Amino acid sequence: MTRSLPLLLALGLASACKGSPPLSPTDRPEGPRVVSLQPNATEILFALGAGPNVVGATRYCNHPDEARAVPRVGGILDVSLEAVLAARPDIVVGSPSVLRGHLGDLLDASGIRQVPVVFETADDVEPGIRAIGTAIGRGEAAEALAASYRTDLATLAGRAHRDPPLTVLLVVGRNPLVVAARSSYLGDLLARMGVANVASSDTMPYPTWSLEQAIRSAPDVIVDGAVEAGDLAALLADAGLSAARDGRVIRVRDEALLRPGPGTGRAALDLADEIRRVAADLPTRP
Amino acid sequence: MGLVSRHRIPAFFAALAVLLVASVLSSLALGATPLDLLGALTGDAASDRLVLLRERLPRTLLAAIVGASLSTSGLVFQAVLSNPLADPYVIGVAGGAALGGSLALVLPGIALLGHAGVSAAAFLGGLGAVALTWRLSRDRRGRMRTYEVLLVGVVFNTIASAAIMFLKSVVRAEKAQEMLLWLMGTLSSDVRSPGAILGTLAVALFAMGLLFASAPALNALAMGEEDAAAVGVDPARTTRRVFLAGSLLVAAAVSVAGMIGFVGLIVPHAVRALVGSDHRVTIPGSALLGAAFLVLADLLTRLMFPVFETEAPVGVLTALIGGPAFIWLLKRGGDRP
Amino acid sequence: MTRPTADSTPLRLDGTTFLYPGAAVPAVNAASLVVAPGEFVGLIGPNGAGKSTLLRLAAGLLTPTSGSVRTAGFDPARSSRPMVARTVALVPASLAVGFPMTVRDFVAMGRTAHLKGLFESAVDRTAVHWALETSEAAAFADRPYQELSAGEQRRVLVARALAQEPRLLLLDEPTANLDVAHAVSLVYRVADLARSQGVAVVAAIHDLNVALLACDRIVLLREGAIRAVGDPESVMQWSILRETFGCDLYIGRNEVNGRLFVVPMGRDPEPVTGTSSPRRGQSS
């Protein structure tokens, strides 16, 4: 091993002296170079038409499809500082907790502007769109997007309301069975659309349930938002949930729904409509 | 007897020093992205200079300190517990530090202190666990019974694991993810301040100095407690001192880097296979080799960034390299502490 | 920690009693003995008589239940181990294990209490060299201890004790595993050491004849109690030996060197009960 070390060292130094590769004129985009450390922010950037400006994103930034081609700088918690700096951004967008630590210090020292954004509930999307839009100089487009989002949310109110309200179980994890409770972002969407969430916990947003609890809750409709593959409907049907047996299970894969973002309003409207359709033959109060 | 003969021991140390220096230089020059080393040093490439001085340099230093600490503590625990399978975490320090750090990550009050709070909590948790293990495994004369130490340590680690598992299940997903990353052992955390590095270095040097001074006594202890006592070593006193110094090393390492595994198990074996079991040689040898090993492992995690789109936790790499290396060493001809 | 007095008596046992925890009878029972510098005392007795226990009490590895132990004036069980090790050296009955090392390194462990700093000085190396020569282990000084025969390892153990440069040398079965030539040689060298350097030697020796070759005094031990102490002439009596060992032994004199020797009589030994020995021919 000692013999190959000098070789390794020499190679390392040789490659190191090259530095970052220079950009050719054709791929320099208009506007500021942005690194996005949040998939929601990436979605917004692309929705604002600033896709070409995004020079770095997390490996979870898969939506829209074009985002998959953006160079990766790490994950959500495991961001590579070097990769961020190597992308030579003008702006870095991310959650406050990530920007607060050592990364924030380095960005400050480099004179790189930081835009902290929070995406925990559906209400966070509008201010997020505005903050990002203002930072990249697309304020007008941001206003338009925010307005459309607000309209969608307004239309969502009570969209799936019935008397008595439909009871819904929203599953986000198959094994173990993790459900979205009232205090979660998804639970909040359900509340807006006027259905009753069978998981009414206010303390834990995503509690783990036993199958027994699921059976007892006897929901009218089941929304399957679980990321794992597998037939949740069959599992719950075997367990005896009538909603599953009678085919009132809605499979949701849309990222736009599962994560607060510009497309959330639209996706939530679609879900509300689907819930109503599926529960159409359930009796209502006269 | 080691593969390296007695006369070649100075050459062995020279080789280790070269290895360490080369590792450090490589770790500074290479990484997830290309770095203009010359530009960084002269100040021309401002962003590269920033990366070099405020990211790669602190990280490399930490890797060296943590690697040396884990290896040296693993070595002396193996000696004092007469158990070649002992690693630095066996005496419950890991459980205590992990529990302390996890609590700090999730309890709202302490979380405000950021990573300094996590490190402090982990350090205190680790030492607290050691104190508990110590109390529970002493006999009437105040001597440590090694069997009891191992048992208490294992049980404590298990209980702490369960507590941590419980914590993970009741906190939010991102907190749980943070905990997981920390527990897997990583050098990519926010610990970068000169204060943290100097503090860890001071603790490590102090503890390693203490252990080096105990080297002749450790040699004698290997012959058995009575024989050691007969040639003039106080087994209880020596064990206590080694225990304390070793625990300081582990607590310090875990508090800044989480639980990086395998370093404390494999490096002592490698050193012993090379130079025998005289602790006056193996203690500094483990420190140097452990430092180089972890620096190189961390470098590898950063070099593999394009492959995984993340820097894998260094604990994963130390296991992947350490495992096969351990088996190879075993085949070449075993050794005993 | 007791401060050493000017007392130069290498070993003084005063009514020393030791009970192992949970034992019904003491392993050493009210033993009193004074060993002078330069004396070679042989500890003789059947298995379980308490010879090892007595030696470990003398080395301070055990604390007496009652009575006292003094080596060069201080209590070895309560003094700092390095200080004790510079005065008292114990050669154990069992062969040491430890990690692989050369004989020289093994013997160098005996210098642990003398080390100034962490590494051996010229003084230490000289002591190790002398110890190796005296115990006839110099020939294999650079071989691994673990590869030696049992007899060679035993000589190395003696060397390690000698490297401590003790004033009191305690040996627990030093001639076990040694062939007759080496056993005799060892005993003579130890006797020389005692005479020329004034080192007090107490050795538990299984082979009574070897002890009789060189010991100045014999201590007869049975069931933890000292039955008789004195020079061979006074102690080697049929009745005393019968009472100690429980069998008939013939005591003769070697006409060549004038020393006593002992051989079994050849009759079936009868068990000895109590303290009084039954007459020959009678069952107990």
Please write the tens of the pLDDT for every residue from A32-42.
999 999 999 99
Question: CB–CB of B278 and C105 under 8 A?
Answer: yes
CA B232 – CA B210 distance, rounded (Å): 18
* Residue B152 to residue B132: CA distance in whole angstroms: 9
pTM metric for this prediction: 0.83
Q: Nearest-CA distance from C185 to chain B in Å? A: 25
Q: What is the pLDDT of residue B144?
A: 65
Quick check: do C and B touch, 3+ CB pairs under 8 A?
A: yes
Confidence class for position A19, pLDDT limits 50, 70, 90 = very low
Q: Grade residue C59 by pLDDT with cuts at 50, 70 and 90.
A: very high
Q: Which of A95, A88, A80 is nearest to A131 (CA)?
A: A95
Homologous superfamily, domain B6-332 = ABC transporter involved in vitamin B12 uptake, BtuC (1.10.3470.10)
- Beta-carbon pairs below 8 A across chains A and B: 118
Backbone angles phi, psi at A282, to 5 degrees: -75, 145
The residue of chain A with its CA nearest to that of B41 is A17
Helix (H, G, I), strand (E, B) or coil at C262: strand
What distance in Å separates the CA atoms of residue A144 and residue A155, rounded to the nearest whole number? Answer: 17
Given an 8 Å threshold on Cβ–Cβ distance, is B1 in contact with C101? yes
Retrieve residue A228's tokens.
Answer: 């794992």
How many residues are present in chain C? 284
pLDDT at A77 exceeding the cut of 50: yes
Fold of A159-278: Rossmann fold (3.40.50)
Q: What is the pLDDT of residues C62-105, one digit of tens each?
A: 999 999 999 999 999 999 999 999 999 999 988 877 778 899 99
Average pLDDT over residues B133-153: 75
Question: How many cross-chain Cβ pairs, B to C, lie less than 8 Å apart?
Answer: 78
Residue A177 has a pLDDT of 87
Among candidates C150, C156, C153, which has minimal Cα distance to C134? Answer: C156
Predicted confidence (pLDDT) at residue B113 exceeds the cutoff of 50: yes
Q: DSSP for B160-212?
A: HHHHHHHHHHHS-HHHHHHHHHHHH--S-SS---HHHHHHHHHHHHHHHHHHH
Percent above pLDDT 90 for chain B: 33
Residue in chain B lying closest to C163 (CA)? B231
Mean pLDDT across the stretch B267-291? 93
pLDDT at C276: 46
Predicted pLDDT of residue B161 = 86
User: What's the whole-number mean pLDDT along residues A2-9?
Assistant: 48
Nearest to C113 among B213, B231, B278 (CB): B231
Averaged confidence pLDDT in chain B: 85
**A19 has a chain B CB within 8 A of its CB:** yes
Predicted pLDDT of residue A16: 44
User: Is B232 within 8 Å of C144 when comparing Cβ atoms?
Assistant: no
**Nearest CA distance, B119 vs chain C (angstrom):** 35
Greater pLDDT, B336 or C269 = C269
ipTM of this complex > 0.85? no
| Mean of pLDDT over chain A | 84
SS3 A50: coil
Averaged pLDDT for residues A204-225: 88
Residues 6+ apart with CB under 8 A from B292: B16, B19, B20, B23, B64, B67
Q: Which of the four pLDDT bands, split at 50, 70 and 90, describes residue B254?
A: confident
Average pLDDT value for residue range B78-82:
87
Nearest Cα residue to C39 out of C217, C158, C170: C217
**Chain B touched by A26 (CB under 8 Å):** no
User: Of the CATH numbers 3.30.1120.10, 3.40.50.2300, 3.40.50.1980, 1.10.260.40, which one belongs to the domain with range A28-154?
Assistant: 3.40.50.1980
Alpha carbon A98 to its chain centroid, in Å, reads: 16
* Mean pLDDT in residue range B26-31: 90
* Of A25-29, B97-101, C224-228, minimum mean pLDDT range: A25-29
Instruction: Confirm if B337 and B278 have CB atoms less than 8 A apart.
Output: no
Any chain C CB within 8 A of the CB of B185?
no
> How close B1 gets to chain C, by Cα (Å)?
6
Q: What is the DSSP letter of B144?
A: B
Q: Is B1 within 8 Å of C100 when comparing Cβ atoms?
A: yes
Q: Place C37 in a pLDDT band, splitting at 50, 70 and 90.
A: very high
Chain A residues in contact with B50 (beta carbon < 8 A): 85, 106, 109-110
Residues in Cβ contact with C5 at an 8 Å cutoff, skipping those fewer than 6 apart: C73, C74
Q: How far apart are CA C158 and CA C91, in angstroms?
A: 6
User: Judged by CB atoms within 8 Å, which residues 316-335 of B form the interface with C?
Assistant: 335
CA–CA min distance A109, chain B (Å): 8
Neighbours of C94 (CB within 10 A): 13
Cross-chain Cβ contact A82/B29 below 8 Å? no
- Write the residue in C81, C99, C118 that is nearest to B215 by C-beta: C118
Q: What is the mean pLDDT of residues C145-167?
A: 92
Measuring CA to CA, which residue among B204, B152, B160 is closest to residue B183?
B160
**Does residue A105 belong to the interface with chain B, where contact is any CB pair within 8 Å?**
yes
pLDDT value at residue A134:
94
Q: Which residue of B has its CA nearest to A99?
A: B190
- Any CB–CB contact under 8 A between B26 and chain A? yes
Question: 């998804």: which residue's tokens?
Answer: A186
Task: Note whether B192 contacts A74, CB cutoff 8 Å.
Answer: no
- Amino acid at the residue B127: L
Question: Among A74, A101, A208, whose Cβ lies nearest the Cβ of B310?
Answer: A74
Write the residue in A2, A59, A102 that is nearest to B309 by C-beta: A59
Is the pLDDT at A268 greater than 50? The verdict is yes
What is d(CA B74, CA B61) in angstroms, rounded to the nearest whole number? 20
Closest chain B residue to the Cα of A112, Cα to Cα: B47
Q: Does B234 touch chain C (CB under 8 A)?
A: yes
Residue A179: pLDDT over 70? yes
**Separation CA B273–CA A177 (nearest Å):** 50
Query: Among candidates B280, B149, B283, which has minimal Cα distance to B220?
Result: B280
Chains C and A contact (Cβ–Cβ under 8 Å for 3 or more pairs): no
What is the model's pLDDT at position B332?
73
> Does B115 touch chain A if contact means CB atoms closer than 8 Å?
yes
Question: Is A286's Cβ below 8 Å from some Cβ in B?
Answer: no
pLDDT of A61 higher than 60 = yes
> What integer pLDDT is reported at residue B319 of this predicted model?
84
CATH 3.40.50.300 domain locations along chain C: 11-100+163-235
Q: What's the pLDDT band for C270 if we cut at 50, 70, 90?
A: low
> What CATH fold (topology level) applies to the domain C11-100+163-235?
Rossmann fold (3.40.50)
Q: Which chains touch C (3 or more CB pairs under 8 A)?
A: B
Please report the pLDDT score of residue A210 as a whole number: 86
Contact B37 A18 (CB under 8 A): no
CB contact under 8 A, A81 and B55: yes
* CATH 3.40.50.1980, chain A: domain bounds: 28-154, 159-278
Tell me how crowded residue A99 is: count the other CB atoms within 10 A of its CB: 20
Q: Show which residues on chain C lie within 8 Å of chain B, measured between beta carbons.
A: 56, 59, 61, 80-82, 84-86, 89-90, 92, 96-102, 105, 109-110, 112-113, 115, 118-119, 144, 160-161, 164
For residues A85 and A106, the answer to whether their CB atoms sit within 8 Å is yes
Each residue's pLDDT tens digit, C236-260: 998 899 888 888 899 999 999 889 9
CB-closest option in B33, B173, B181 to A82: B33
Whole-number pLDDT of residue A23 = 43
Residue range A186-192: mean pLDDT, rounded: 91
Q: How many whole angstroms separate alpha carbon B78 and alpha carbon B67? A: 17
A111 part of contact set with chain B, CB < 8 Å: no
CA distance B267 to B296: 13
Mark yes or no for CB contact A80/B35 under 8 Å: no
Is the pLDDT assigned to residue A273 strictly greater than 50? yes
* pLDDT reported for residue A15: 46
Range from B8-22, B187-201, C65-79 carrying the lowest mean pLDDT: B187-201
On the question of pLDDT at A18 being above 60, the answer is no
User: What is the per-residue pLDDT for A2?
Assistant: 43
Looking at beta carbons, which residues of chain C come within 8 Å of B278?
101, 105
Question: Would you call A100 an interface residue with chain B, using a CB distance cutoff of 8 Å?
Answer: yes
Give the mean pLDDT of C215-230.
94
**pLDDT, tens digit (0-9, with 9 covering 90-100), for A81-140:** 889 988 999 999 999 888 888 888 889 988 999 999 999 888 999 999 999 999 999 999
Compare CB distances from C109 to B213, B223, B277 and report the shortest one's residue.
Answer: B223
pLDDT of A246 above 80: yes
Is the pLDDT reported for residue B75 higher than 90? yes
Show Cβ contacts of residue C215 under 8 Å, excluding neighbours closer than 6 positions.
Answer: C40, C41, C42, C191, C203, C205, C232
CA–CA min distance C179, chain B (Å): 25
- Kindly indicate the confidence band of residue C178, based on its pLDDT and cuts at 50, 70 and 90: confident
Report the pLDDT value the prediction gives residue B112, as an integer from 0 to 100.
63
Is the model more confident about B52 or about B18? B18
